[in-house]
């Protein structure tokens, strides 16, 4: 666990049961509201800059419910990671067409509701001190994805000259480029990085590039145009 997250755990208030009027809420709906609000807050400010009070205000709930349901700020952040991994395993099944998977990752990366910016914040704030629980879950997912790429290589779908781990990192990094470098996207394309037209154009181009690198050629990308509209 990072020092910031340790401090957040140490500062959390004593866990209490919700008041009577709060218990009348649908707990799952309340948790979902908190997670949605937290994803927006963490995406905008990173873990260190996010404030529990702001998350509660965004969600329209009592701040103490965050402690009650998630055991504080650090626990809430961990739950966002779990929710993303659960979404990812359903939205990107192992047998998904590789080109479509790449394009879908690009689309997801610019969706503020899914927290694509969180990955960039984590990287910038990384100190080498991982939250052990979170790292174990994340690394298990990464190992699974590497194994899936290796299976695709054995099946002849992807070029087996690539290190599967390196190919995964390349794909993840480039899929998040519009989120990480929005200023460069504006300069290069003259459009907002989250505009639907640019997102689709970039997704097609990335699928085409990965297809060429892995031996799939233009067929992997679905015949995307080389020019932005």
- Residue 225 phi/psi, 5-degree rounding, is -75, 150
- Residue 82 phi/psi, 5-degree rounding, is -65, -40
Structure tokens at 42: 């963490």
Structure tokens at 193: 């990085």
Structure tokens at 170: 């390349």
Across the range 140-144, mean pLDDT stands at 94
Give residues with Cβ within 8 angstroms of 189, minimum separation 6. 198, 201, 228
pLDDT over 90 (residue 229): no
State how far the Cα of 91 lies from the Cα of 89, in Å rounded to an integer: 6
Looking at residue 224, what is its pLDDT?
41
State how far the Cα of 72 lies from the Cα of 52, in Å rounded to an integer: 8
State how far the Cα of 113 lies from the Cα of 194, in Å rounded to an integer: 13
Looking at residue 125, what is its pLDDT?
86
State how far the Cα of 31 lies from the Cα of 47, in Å rounded to an integer: 19
Looking at residue 204, what is its pLDDT?
97
pLDDT over 60 (residue 228): no
Looking at residue 57, what is its pLDDT?
95
Mean pLDDT of the chain: 85
Looking at residue 10, what is its pLDDT?
44
Instruction: State pLDDT tens for residues 115-140.
Output: 788 888 888 888 888 878 888 989 99
pLDDT over 70 (residue 219): no
CATH of 1-81, one of 3.90.25.10, 1.10.357.10, 3.40.50.620, 3.10.580.10: 1.10.357.10
Instruction: State pLDDT tens for residues 49-70.
Output: 999 999 999 999 999 999 999 9
Q: What would be the CATH architecture of the domain defined by 92-224?
A: Orthogonal Bundle (1.10)
Same fold, 1-81 and 92-224: yes
* Of the listed ranges 10-24, 151-165, 208-222, the one predicted with least confidence: 10-24
- The pLDDT > 70 percentage for the chain reads 83
- Domain spans of the chain? 1-81, 92-224
Looking at residue 26, what is its pLDDT?
85
């Amino acid at each position: 666990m990072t020092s910031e997250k340790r401090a957040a755990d140490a500062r959390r208030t004593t866990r209490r049961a919700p008041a009577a009027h709060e218990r009348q809420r649908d707990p799952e709906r309340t948790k979902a509201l908190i997670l949605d609000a937290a994803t927006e807050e963490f995406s905008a400010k990173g873990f260190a800059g996010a404030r529990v009070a702001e998350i509660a205000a965004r969600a329209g709930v009592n701040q103490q419910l965050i402690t009650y349901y998630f055991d504080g700020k650090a626990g809430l952040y961990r739950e966002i990671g779990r929710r993303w991994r659960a979404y990812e395993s359903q939205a990107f099944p192992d047998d998904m067409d590789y080109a479509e998977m790449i394009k879908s990752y690009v689309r997801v990366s610019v969706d503020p509701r899914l927290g694509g910016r969180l990955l960039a914040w984590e990287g910038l704030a990384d100190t080498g001190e991982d939250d052990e629980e979170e790292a174990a879950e994340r690394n298990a997912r990464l190992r699974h994805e590497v194994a899936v790429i290796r299976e695709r290589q054995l099946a002849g779908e992807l070029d087996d000259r690539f290190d599967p781990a390196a190919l995964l990192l390349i794909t993840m990094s480039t899929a998040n480029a519009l989120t990480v470098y929005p200023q460069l996207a504006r300069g290069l394309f003259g459009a907002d990085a989250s505009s639907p037209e640019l997102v689709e154009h970039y997704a097609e181009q990335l699928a085409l590039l990965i297809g060429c690198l892995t031996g799939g050629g233009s067929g992997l990308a679905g015949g995307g145009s080389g020019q932005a509209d």
